[in-house]
Amino acid sequence: MNLKHFFIALAVSFPLWWGANIFQKNSQDFFLWQIIKADPELFLAEAQAPVVRRSPAISRNPGEKSIVPEDFSASAAFAVWVDNNGRRKTLFQKNADGKLPIASVSKLMVADIILNNYDLSRIVEIDEAAVAREEDFGSLKAGERLSVKNLLYLILMESSNDAVWALAEQEGIDNFVLEMNRQAGESGLADTYFINPNGVDPDIPNGPLNYSTARDLSRLAQTLYEKKPLVWDILGLSAYDLYMPDGKLHHRLKNTNELLGMVPRLIGGKTGWTPIAKGCLVLLQRAPGNQGFLVYVLLGSDDRFGEMAKLVNWADRAWSWQE
């Protein structure tokens, strides 16, 4: 009799249990569609969110020693790998946070300001004040007219102080330098400061000069590569034919970076040198297996190209990549 009652109770309760589950599922579906209806953009954003891939493995080769300090004259050196998700891993550092003069590496920030604020097709006339700058890189003459874009090529490839001055004059030299420092602060370059737009040494002994750190400059180089690729497109050129607005050839530019064509996977680099700053160089290189890129910085070097080649070669030997 009890068994009979059990089966009767089971038969009666099953439809109730099945109905409750269907109701729960329908309720969940209903509320889900209500959420989608209320905020469809949120749903689409979640559906289209990129999948973040795990960073590929990189490991130090235990048998490879670090660079011997006495063989490395640079006051500061830094090497960092930036993966395809923008994450950074330091590979080598020597005085990476020491504030040092940076000479014409300052022109990386100049390029950033130009691309933020100038129309590249705008024509600028070169004046006497511009051609009076130290050195004559760029071969500019007073009265010549060139586009902002062509002046940018002169700044980055031949490190022309005249071209920098000609563009900075358009906003006023003091205002241009203020903008350089404002941009440095906004970019998180806390140990970077600019006195002039071209990075030349001061006219008076112990006067103020442009300074930064190897770590800050690596971040500036990374930002420009990610957000202003034209800068590194230009810096990767070994030569470029510069034309006047009338179509006449001004001259053939030659890049000041002697490592172009010498370093494998090289993206480009910005050079700098003054008697006080000595040799400075920022270099970008594609990582093996297209796994992001590497940023190298040298400041205060007696042999910037030789020591940079040594640093790049060391990184290739000292680190293994899982491709």
Q: Which residues are annotated as a binding site for substrate?
A: 270
218 is catalytic: no
Give me the catalytic one of 159, 160, 212, 301: 159
Residue 125: burial class (beta carbons within 10 Å; 0-12, 13-18, 19+): exposed
160 is catalytic: no
Q: Are 92 and 315 in contact (CB under 8 A)?
A: yes
Q: Report CA dihedral (181, 185, 187, 193) to the nearest 10 degrees.
A: 50
Helix or strand or coil: residue 276?
Answer: coil
Examine the residue annotation and report whether 107 is marked as an active-site residue of this protein: yes
**Cα distance between residue 291 and residue 303, in whole Å:** 29
In whole angstroms, how far apart are CA 92 and each of 25, 78, 300, 315? 57, 6, 16, 8
Choosing from 75, 94, 107, 301, the catalytic residue is: 107
Q: CB-based contacts of 260: which residues, under 8 Å, 6+ apart?
A: 236, 238, 266, 268, 269
Region of residue 168 (left: phi > 0; alpha: psi -120 to 50; beta: else)? alpha
SS3 202: coil
Token reading at 207: 């006067």
Binding-site members are: 270
Residue numbers annotated as active site: 104, 107, 159
